[in-house]
Amino acid sequence: MDRKDNVSVTVIRRLPKYHRYLGDLIEKGVERISSQEFSALIGFTASQIRQDLNNFGGFGQQGYGYNVKDLEKELSRILGLHMNYNAVVVGAGHLGQAISNYKGFEDAGFNIIALADTDPAMIGKELHGKPVVDFNELPKYMKEHDIKIGIITVPKTQAQAVSYKLIQGGATGIWNFAPTDITVPGEVVLENVRLNDSLFVLSYFLKEADAKRGQSKK
């Protein structure tokens, strides 16, 4: 399959949505879809869909459209969902436990095999079958268990120090839930989840909607 280099991050960020909609179509038994039909469903223009997918080779066929199963399989491959990574969640609090226990991540090839914390009361425990390891011994543990992915769920003041420790343990990827920007070496892949930012955007539009309704807030 041909693939253009330097596909823009904006395009990459749209791929999971294509993948999600294709999965829904498969569940509904739909076998093929035109870019026009796909457009009406997903809310991107047909031309954008064609452009986006052309970055990775042409999947559609003139007069036929896209084969749903084939396209989903291709997108899974492009997204690297066939790969397997061992991961550790740093921070065994509520969010860390929620993430470590969420089955959906396994479908993406991320196997969370442990949590790490500094709290002596937590270290050595098992949470939903996963051990809580001593944060200070994390680099050693990561190397022993071939863990390449770290998921950061600690408070923002500790996030940078945690990322250093993860990289010391050989992390090639970090998924950061702490509401702060961390710095990592260029070869380490960093993806941030900004729950606060998302809530602030909700807050903005709520305020705008309230103003439109002309209501005064309680």
- Residue 216 gets which letter from DSSP? P
* 115-174 binders of its own copies (CB under 8 A): 146, 149, 172-173
With binding defined as CB under 8 A, does residue 200 bind its own copies?
yes
Among 38, 44, 66, 110, binds its own copies (CB under 8 A): 110
Return the residue of 32, 105, 131, 164 that touches its own copies, per CB under 8 A: 105
Query: Do the Cβ atoms of 165 and 137 come closer than 8 Å?
Result: no
- Comparing CA positions, the residue from 137, 206, 129, 204 lying closest to residue 165 is 137
Choosing from 16, 57, 58, 124, the residue that interacts with its own copies (CB under 8 A) is: 16
Q: Pick from 144, 81, 86: which is nearest to 107 by CA?
A: 81
8 part of the interface to its own copies, by CB under 8 A: no
Comparison of 35 and 176: residue with beta carbon closer to its own copies: 176
Residue 184 near its own copies by CB under 8 A: no
Pick from 26, 46, 79, 182 the residue near its own copies by CB under 8 A.
79
The rounded distance, in Å, linking the Cα atoms of 2 and 56 is 6
Task: Please say which residue, 46 or 108, places its beta carbon nearer to its own copies.
Answer: 108
The candidate with the shortest Cα–Cα distance to 135, out of 105, 169, 111, 110, is 169
In three-state secondary structure terms, 117 is: strand
Q: What is the 3-state secondary structure (H, E, C) of 136-184?
A: HHHHHHHHHCCEEEEEECCCHHHHHHHHHHHHHCCCCEEEECCCCCCCC
Please identify, among the stretches 32-40, 62-70, 134-142, 201-209, the one whose residues bind its own copies according to the rule CB under 8 A: 201-209
Q: How far is the CB of 70 from its own copies (least distance, A)?
A: 19
39 lies in the binding site for its own copies (CB under 8 A): no
Token look-up 């539009």 returns: 205
Of the residues 102, 126, 145, 170, which one makes contact with its own copies according to CB under 8 A = 102
Decide: 88 and 144 in contact? Cβ < 8 Å: no
Vertex 30, ends 70 and 82: CA angle to 5°? 35
Query: Cα separation of 154 and 69, whole Å?
Result: 39
Of the residues 32, 109, 118, 160, which one makes contact with its own copies according to CB under 8 A: 109
Site residues for its own copies per CB under 8 A: 12-13, 15-17, 19-20, 24, 78-81, 83-85, 93-95, 97-98, 101-102, 104-105, 108-110, 146, 149, 172-173, 175, 179-180, 187, 189, 191-210, 213, 217-218
